[in-house]
Structure 1
Amino acid sequence: MRLLPGPQRGGRRAGGVTGILVTRPEPGASETAAQLTRLGHQPLICPLLEIVYLDAPLAIGPDVAALVVTSPSGVRALARLTPRRDLPLYSVGDRTADLARQLGFHDVFSAAGDVNALADLIVREPPRRAGRLLHVCGQDVAGDLARLLHPHGIRLDQHIAYRAQPAAALDGQTMAALADGRVSHVLLFSARTARCFVTLVEKVGLAPVMAGLTALCISQTVAEAIQGPAWGEIKVAASPDAAHLLALLPPGIDA
C-alpha cells in the first residue's frame, strides 16, 4: 500500500470519510489517487491485480472490419501489439476511448457504458465495410459481447493479450490501516478485484472490519460480487465509469 500525500486534519472527516482505498491495477490506481487528492481526500493505493501483457502475435487480416476494446488495459495491449491505427475502434467507455485516441487511434466510438451498451452501439453503428470484429482483451472478460452480437449477424473474435494476476495477500500497511480504522471507503472497479479484496480480508481475519467500510462499486455486477459479507454500506455508480464512481464520495475537506 502507498499512502499518498493529502489533506491532513486528523480524525474522521466530515461525511465519515477517512482513507479511500484504491484497489485497481496500475497505472489506473495512481491516476485515481491523484483525482482523489485533488478532491480533498486521502487516497491509499493497494492494487489487487497486476496486469501482465502477453506477446501473442496479433494478426489483423483484411477480413477484420473493426477493433473492440473493453478496458484501458486492452487498449494498451492493442497498441503494443500492432502499429495499425487505421481501423475503426469500438470502446466500452469514455476513459478507454480517450486513451485510445492518445495512443493514436483516430476512428474511435465510445459506448459510454457497459458491455450491453457497447453491443447496442455496434449494432446501431456497424463498421462501414463488412467483416468480423476483433476484441483485444484479457483472459477474464466481463459479459459475453459475442453472444450479444451473434443474433444480429455480427461475428466477434477474441485475441487474449493480457492477464490480470491477483494479489496473493494484502500488504502490511493496508492491513494496519484497515485494522486501525484509517479506511472508510473502498473503490471497486471490477468484480474480480472485489472478490479478491473480500477473500484477502477474510484470509487475515479482518472480516469484522468490513462492517465499518463503504464499498463503492462501479457497476451492479461488482456489487453482486461482494454480496454476503457484512459491509457497512454498498453503493453503485449511476454509470459505470470513474467519474460517477467518485461522485458517490462525500465532499473532501477542501472541496
Structure 2
Amino acid sequence: MSERPAQLIPEEAPHVLLLRSPDAEGEDRYVQALAERGFRAVCRPVLRFAFAGAPGFTGGDVTARLRRPDRYEGLILTSPRASQALADVLLDASSGLQETWQGKPAFTVGPKTANLLRESGLKPTGEDSGDADALAAHIVQEMPNEAGAARPLLFLCGNRRREALPERLRAEGVAFEECVAYETHLREGPWLKASNGETPDWAVFFSPSGVEAVRQSDEPGWGAVRKAALGPTTAGALEAAGGPPDAVAARPTPEALAEALAMAGQSA
C-alpha cells in the first residue's frame, strides 16, 4: 500500500487520509498544503488506471483519433489521466502530431489537467470552470451549435466518466465524439485506517469512483470519519452514499482543500 507521510508536525495534529496517488515528484502538493495548516496527511491510492497498450485494455484507439486532427474542432479533457494519455501520443517525437493540435482549443477543468496540457504544447481553456457542468456551459458559449457549422470535438475520457457533460452538450447541439483513453479500476480496501491503525480524523475524496471504492469495502469506520470532497461532483457522490460531506473545496486545488478543512475544524 503506497503512502507518503507529511512533514514532521505534532503527533496530536488532525490526521487526514488523502484517497489519491501521491505526486510523482517532490513532496505531494496536498500533503504540503495541509501541513501548512496544521494537518498530518498521507496519500493512499484507492484507484488504479490502465492506458492503451496495457494488458486487457478495452478502450479506444487514442493514437488513431489523434492522427486525424482535420476531423476535429478541438479537444475535451476533464482529468489528468486523459491528459496523460494525450501526452503519451503528442510528445512522442515519431508521431509528428504535436504541432497539428496546437492551434485547436483544448477544453478542460482544473489546474492540474490544464498544466499537463500546457506541457504537451496545447492551450487549455475553461480550467477555472470548477466542474463538468460549468465546463459544458463554457463549451456551449465558445462553440457554434448550428447543424454542420463545426466539426466535432474529440472528448478523451475514462470508462467511468459522468453523464453531466455529454448530456449538456447533446442538449445544446454541440457535436463531439468520445474516445475512452484510460480505464479506472477500484482497488480493494480496507481504507479508513491511519498508519497507526486508528480511524483518521478526515478522509478526503477526489472523485465519485473513490467514494465507490471505499463504500464497496463496507468499512465500520465510515460513520466515524469526517469526509471532505474536492468538488461538487464528488460531494454529490458522498451525499448519495450516506450523507453530505463535512467540507467541500471551493476549487480543485491543494490550497482550497486545506482552507475548507481548516474552516470546518473551526466550526466543529
Q: If the length of structure 1 is used for normalisation, what is the TM-score?
A: 0.79
Indicate the larger mover: 143-152 or 189-198: 143-152
Letter paired with 2:106: L
Indicate the larger mover: 153-162 or 106-115: 106-115
Q: Residues 58-77 of structure 1, C-alpha deviation per residue, up to 9 Å, x if partnerless?
A: 32321201001001111111
Report how far residue 121 of structure 1 moved: 0.7
1:191 is aligned to 208
1:170 alignment partner, one of 174, 190, 195: 190
Q: Residues 82-109 of structure 1, C-alpha deviation per residue, up to 9 Å, x if partnerless?
A: 3424221011223321221123213544
Letter paired with 1:34: Q
Q: Partners in 1 of 2:186 and 2:262 — Cα distance?
A: 29
Report how far residue 242 of structure 1 moved: 4.4
Q: Partners in 1 of 2:9 and 2:127 — Cα distance?
A: 38
CA 1:225–1:103 in 2, change beyond 3 Å: closer, same or farther? same
Contact 2:247 2:261 in 1 (8 A): no
1:59 is aligned to 65
Q: Residues 2-56 of structure 1, C-alpha deviation per residue, up to 9 Å, x if partnerless?
A: 2514233233x3xxx2x11011235479442233334442112210001211243
Q: Partners in 2 of 1:10 and 1:30 — Cα distance?
A: 19
SS of the residue 2:64 aligns to: coil
Q: Partners in 1 of 2:261 and 2:178 — Cα distance?
A: 36
5+ residue gaps, structure 2: 54-60, 91-96, 264-268
Q: Residues 189-229 of structure 1, C-alpha deviation per residue, up to 9 Å, x if partnerless?
A: 111101211222x2xxx41x333311001234323323477
Larger % of strand: which?
1
1:150 is aligned to 170
Q: Residues 130-163 of structure 1, C-alpha deviation per residue, up to 9 Å, x if partnerless?
A: 2110011111102332221123321111111111
Pair 1:223-2:235 in alignment: yes
SS of the residue 2:45 aligns to: coil
CA 1:105–1:2 in 2, change beyond 3 Å: closer, same or farther? same
Number of residue-to-residue matches in the alignment = 237
Contact 1:119 1:145 in 2 (8 A): yes
Could you tell me the percent identity over the aligned residues?
A: 22
Contact 2:131 2:233 in 1 (8 A): no
Letter paired with 2:198: D
CA 1:104–1:37 in 2, change beyond 3 Å: closer, same or farther? farther
After superposition, the CA RMSD in angstroms is: 2.9
Pair 1:73-2:85 in alignment: no
Pair 1:24-2:20 in alignment: yes
1:35 alignment partner, one of 33, 50, 63: 33
Contact 2:230 2:257 in 1 (8 A): yes
Contact 1:4 1:44 in 2 (8 A): yes
Contact 1:58 1:159 in 2 (8 A): no
Letter paired with 2:17: L
CA 1:158–1:241 in 2, change beyond 3 Å: closer, same or farther? farther
